[in-house]
Amino acid sequence: MIIYEVNLSVSKSIFCRFKKWLDSHAKSMLIFPGFTKFVMYNVSSNNKNKINLCVHYYIKSEPFLEEYLTNNADNMRKEGLNLFKKNYCK
């Protein structure tokens, strides 16, 4: 089992909408072969205008992660970037 970690920083002004989307997005990641579950964390920050999140995706083995990164990661990342543009920081 390996953990694929994704760290995000989001403007507080869109956090509720972003979090709703991210919950759905993370669930949709489980359709990819080898992805078994995810856990989402709020990460403390001194920046009062942004909220930091960390998502851990649990994947059965490295070949499944490589398959995802090679064939699907770009499209999955673009979805969030297209929806939230400049409010999506990382």
> What's the pLDDT score for residue 82?
85
β-pairing, 2-11 with 35-43? Answer: unpaired
**In a structure prediction context, what are the per-residue pLDDT tens digits for the chain, which is 90 residues long?**
999 999 998 888 899 999 999 999 999 999 999 999 999 999 988 888 899 999 999 999 999 999 999 999 999 988 888 888 765 444
Domain boundaries, the chain: 2-87
Instruction: Give residue 86's pLDDT.
Output: 62
Q: Which CATH fold would you assign to the domain 2-87?
A: Alpha-Beta Plaits (3.30.70)
Residue 6 CA: distances (Å) to CA of 37, 43, 73:
14, 12, 11
Partner residues linked to 52 by β-bridges:
9, 43
| CA gap 22, 47 in Å, rounded | 21
In sequence order, which ranges of 30-72 are alpha helices (DSSP H)? 62-71
